[in-house]
Amino acid sequence: MKDPSAAINHHADHPGFSGVTGVLCGLAFLLVGRKKARLAADTAQVSSQDHIVDVGCGPGTAARVAARRGARVTGVDPASTMLRIARLITPRRAPITWSEGTAESLPVTDGSATVVWALATVHHWQDVDKAVAEARRVLAPGGRLIAIERQSPDGATGLASHGWTRQQAESFGALCRDTGFGDVSVAEHGGGKQAAWVVSGTRR
Protein backbone atom coordinates (compact mmCIF):
# COMPACT_ATOMS: atom_id res chain seq x y z
CA MET A 1 0.00 0.00 0.00
CA LYS A 2 1.24 3.47 -0.87
CA ASP A 3 2.31 5.64 2.07
CA PRO A 4 -0.26 8.51 2.33
CA SER A 5 2.36 10.75 3.96
CA ALA A 6 4.28 10.70 0.65
CA ALA A 7 1.37 12.23 -1.28
CA ILE A 8 1.59 15.78 -2.59
CA ASN A 9 -1.54 16.60 -0.54
CA HIS A 10 -0.55 14.63 2.54
CA HIS A 11 -2.61 16.95 4.79
CA ALA A 12 -5.79 16.89 2.72
CA ASP A 13 -7.68 15.75 5.81
CA HIS A 14 -7.02 19.05 7.62
CA PRO A 15 -10.31 20.21 9.20
CA GLY A 16 -9.91 23.79 7.99
CA PHE A 17 -9.97 27.10 9.82
CA SER A 18 -13.12 28.24 11.57
CA GLY A 19 -14.29 29.81 14.80
CA VAL A 20 -11.85 31.11 17.42
CA THR A 21 -9.13 28.72 16.23
CA GLY A 22 -9.48 30.05 12.71
CA VAL A 23 -9.15 33.64 13.92
CA LEU A 24 -6.02 32.83 15.93
CA CYS A 25 -4.48 30.98 13.00
CA GLY A 26 -5.34 33.86 10.67
CA LEU A 27 -3.60 36.34 12.95
CA ALA A 28 -0.57 34.05 13.17
CA PHE A 29 -0.47 33.76 9.37
CA LEU A 30 -0.26 37.54 9.14
CA LEU A 31 3.03 37.37 11.02
CA VAL A 32 4.64 34.40 9.29
CA GLY A 33 3.45 34.79 5.70
CA ARG A 34 5.31 37.91 4.61
CA LYS A 35 8.49 36.30 3.30
CA LYS A 36 6.61 33.78 1.15
CA ALA A 37 4.40 36.60 -0.12
CA ARG A 38 7.40 38.61 -1.27
CA LEU A 39 9.01 35.49 -2.74
CA ALA A 40 5.86 34.77 -4.75
CA ALA A 41 5.62 38.34 -6.03
CA ASP A 42 9.31 38.35 -6.99
CA THR A 43 9.03 34.96 -8.71
CA ALA A 44 6.00 36.10 -10.68
CA GLN A 45 7.57 39.51 -11.40
CA VAL A 46 4.22 41.06 -10.56
CA SER A 47 3.23 44.17 -12.47
CA SER A 48 0.16 46.28 -13.23
CA GLN A 49 -0.53 43.98 -16.19
CA ASP A 50 -1.31 41.02 -13.95
CA HIS A 51 -4.47 39.42 -12.66
CA ILE A 52 -3.37 37.11 -9.87
CA VAL A 53 -5.48 34.36 -8.36
CA ASP A 54 -4.26 33.61 -4.83
CA VAL A 55 -5.43 30.08 -3.98
CA GLY A 56 -5.82 29.61 -0.24
CA CYS A 57 -5.23 33.31 0.33
CA GLY A 58 -5.80 33.12 4.10
CA PRO A 59 -5.82 36.61 5.65
CA GLY A 60 -4.58 38.07 2.38
CA THR A 61 -0.92 38.90 2.96
CA ALA A 62 0.28 37.85 -0.51
CA ALA A 63 -2.76 39.39 -2.19
CA ARG A 64 -1.96 42.77 -0.63
CA VAL A 65 1.71 42.52 -1.65
CA ALA A 66 0.63 41.89 -5.26
CA ALA A 67 -1.90 44.74 -5.15
CA ARG A 68 0.76 47.15 -3.90
CA ARG A 69 2.79 46.23 -6.97
CA GLY A 70 -0.12 47.22 -9.19
CA ALA A 71 -1.78 43.86 -9.89
CA ARG A 72 -5.46 43.05 -9.76
CA VAL A 73 -6.01 40.14 -7.38
CA THR A 74 -8.66 37.54 -6.67
CA GLY A 75 -8.13 36.02 -3.24
CA VAL A 76 -9.80 32.62 -2.87
CA ASP A 77 -10.14 30.65 0.35
CA PRO A 78 -12.53 27.96 1.62
CA ALA A 79 -12.59 29.50 5.12
CA SER A 80 -15.00 32.40 5.62
CA THR A 81 -13.09 33.27 8.81
CA MET A 82 -9.92 33.96 6.83
CA LEU A 83 -11.81 36.06 4.30
CA ARG A 84 -13.38 38.15 7.07
CA ILE A 85 -9.93 38.94 8.46
CA ALA A 86 -8.67 39.75 4.97
CA ARG A 87 -11.53 42.15 4.32
CA LEU A 88 -11.15 43.86 7.70
CA ILE A 89 -7.48 44.73 7.29
CA THR A 90 -7.38 45.46 3.56
CA PRO A 91 -7.93 49.05 2.38
CA ARG A 92 -11.19 49.33 0.46
CA ARG A 93 -9.42 50.96 -2.48
CA ALA A 94 -7.16 47.91 -2.97
CA PRO A 95 -7.85 46.13 -6.30
CA ILE A 96 -8.65 42.84 -4.57
CA THR A 97 -11.75 40.67 -4.78
CA TRP A 98 -12.27 38.16 -1.96
CA SER A 99 -14.17 34.99 -2.85
CA GLU A 100 -15.02 31.80 -1.00
CA GLY A 101 -13.95 28.79 -3.01
CA THR A 102 -11.52 25.89 -3.31
CA ALA A 103 -8.52 25.04 -5.47
CA GLU A 104 -10.67 22.49 -7.27
CA SER A 105 -13.43 25.00 -8.12
CA LEU A 106 -12.10 28.52 -8.53
CA PRO A 107 -14.69 31.31 -8.89
CA VAL A 108 -12.76 32.77 -11.84
CA THR A 109 -13.59 32.81 -15.56
CA ASP A 110 -11.64 30.81 -18.14
CA GLY A 111 -8.34 32.31 -19.28
CA SER A 112 -8.69 35.45 -17.17
CA ALA A 113 -5.62 35.15 -14.94
CA THR A 114 -1.96 35.77 -15.69
CA VAL A 115 -0.74 34.13 -12.46
CA VAL A 116 -2.20 31.50 -10.16
CA TRP A 117 -0.21 30.97 -7.00
CA ALA A 118 -0.61 28.80 -3.92
CA LEU A 119 1.55 29.56 -0.91
CA ALA A 120 1.82 26.73 1.62
CA THR A 121 -1.59 25.39 0.63
CA VAL A 122 -1.12 22.62 -1.96
CA HIS A 123 -0.40 20.06 0.76
CA HIS A 124 -4.00 20.70 1.97
CA TRP A 125 -5.76 20.41 -1.42
CA GLN A 126 -8.44 17.73 -1.60
CA ASP A 127 -7.78 16.71 -5.22
CA VAL A 128 -4.43 17.86 -6.60
CA ASP A 129 -5.03 16.58 -10.14
CA LYS A 130 -8.32 18.45 -10.40
CA ALA A 131 -6.85 21.61 -8.83
CA VAL A 132 -3.91 21.78 -11.25
CA ALA A 133 -6.31 21.34 -14.17
CA GLU A 134 -8.46 24.10 -12.67
CA ALA A 135 -5.45 26.41 -12.46
CA ARG A 136 -4.76 25.73 -16.13
CA ARG A 137 -8.38 26.55 -16.96
CA VAL A 138 -8.30 30.01 -15.40
CA LEU A 139 -4.86 30.95 -16.76
CA ALA A 140 -4.43 32.71 -20.07
CA PRO A 141 -1.88 31.15 -22.47
CA GLY A 142 1.55 32.09 -21.17
CA GLY A 143 0.22 32.51 -17.62
CA ARG A 144 2.11 30.95 -14.72
CA LEU A 145 1.25 28.55 -11.95
CA ILE A 146 3.47 29.01 -8.88
CA ALA A 147 3.43 26.82 -5.78
CA ILE A 148 5.60 27.54 -2.76
CA GLU A 149 5.93 25.10 0.15
CA ARG A 150 8.33 24.91 3.07
CA GLN A 151 10.99 22.21 2.84
CA SER A 152 10.17 19.28 5.09
CA PRO A 153 12.58 16.45 5.91
CA ASP A 154 11.63 12.87 5.12
CA GLY A 155 9.62 11.35 7.94
CA ALA A 156 8.73 14.70 9.55
CA THR A 157 5.72 14.79 11.86
CA GLY A 158 3.58 17.51 13.40
CA LEU A 159 4.02 21.09 12.23
CA ALA A 160 7.33 20.24 10.52
CA SER A 161 5.47 17.94 8.12
CA HIS A 162 3.33 20.79 6.75
CA GLY A 163 5.40 21.26 3.61
CA TRP A 164 7.09 19.13 0.99
CA THR A 165 9.98 16.76 0.80
CA ARG A 166 12.06 16.85 -2.37
CA GLN A 167 10.08 13.89 -3.70
CA GLN A 168 6.78 15.69 -3.15
CA ALA A 169 8.03 18.85 -4.87
CA GLU A 170 9.27 16.83 -7.83
CA SER A 171 5.95 14.94 -7.98
CA PHE A 172 4.04 18.22 -8.17
CA GLY A 173 6.33 19.40 -10.95
CA ALA A 174 5.70 16.17 -12.87
CA LEU A 175 1.94 16.58 -12.43
CA CYS A 176 2.15 20.11 -13.84
CA ARG A 177 3.97 18.77 -16.93
CA ASP A 178 1.39 16.02 -17.35
CA THR A 179 -1.42 18.60 -17.15
CA GLY A 180 0.01 20.65 -20.00
CA PHE A 181 2.31 23.15 -18.33
CA GLY A 182 5.64 23.90 -19.95
CA ASP A 183 8.93 25.30 -18.64
CA VAL A 184 8.27 23.58 -15.31
CA SER A 185 10.97 24.20 -12.72
CA VAL A 186 11.46 22.82 -9.22
CA ALA A 187 13.82 25.04 -7.27
CA GLU A 188 15.08 25.41 -3.71
CA HIS A 189 15.03 28.81 -2.07
CA GLY A 190 16.61 29.99 1.16
CA GLY A 191 18.04 27.85 3.89
CA GLY A 192 17.48 26.68 7.42
CA LYS A 193 13.98 27.19 8.77
CA GLN A 194 13.19 29.50 5.84
CA ALA A 195 14.03 26.90 3.17
CA ALA A 196 11.26 26.51 0.60
CA TRP A 197 10.41 24.73 -2.63
CA VAL A 198 9.30 26.91 -5.53
CA VAL A 199 7.58 25.02 -8.34
CA SER A 200 6.44 26.97 -11.37
CA GLY A 201 5.14 26.24 -14.84
CA THR A 202 3.75 28.11 -17.85
CA ARG A 203 0.35 27.44 -19.39
CA ARG A 204 0.76 26.38 -23.00
Measured in degrees and rounded to the nearest 5, phi and psi for residue 85 equal -65, -45
Confidence of residue 2 (pLDDT cuts 50, 70, 90): low
Per-chain mean pLDDT for the chain: 94
Residue 62 near residue 37 (C-beta atoms within 8 A)? yes
What distance lies between CA 65 and its chain's CA centroid? 14
Per-residue pLDDT band for 181 (boundaries 50, 70, 90) equals very high
pLDDT at 142 over 60: yes
DSSP bridge pairs for 118 = 147
What contacts 21, CB < 8 A, 6 or more positions away?
Answer: none
Q: Is the pTM of this model over 0.75?
A: yes
Dist CA 47 CA 88 (whole Å)? 25
> Quick check: 108 and 138 in contact, CB under 8 A?
yes
- Look at the chain and report how many structural domains it folds into: 1
CATH code, domain carrying 129: 3.40.50.150
Its domain, for residue 151, covers: 4-203
Q: Are the CB atoms for 164 and 172 separated by under 8 Å?
A: yes
- As a whole number of angstroms, the distance between CA 34 and CA 118 comes to 14
Q: From CA 109, how far away is CA 83, in angstroms rounded? A: 20
Say how far apart CA 151 and CA 113 lie, in whole Å.
Answer: 28
Give the residue-averaged pLDDT of 11-21.
Answer: 85
Nearest to 29 by CA among 40, 47, 17, 44: 17
| Residue 1: predicted pLDDT | 46
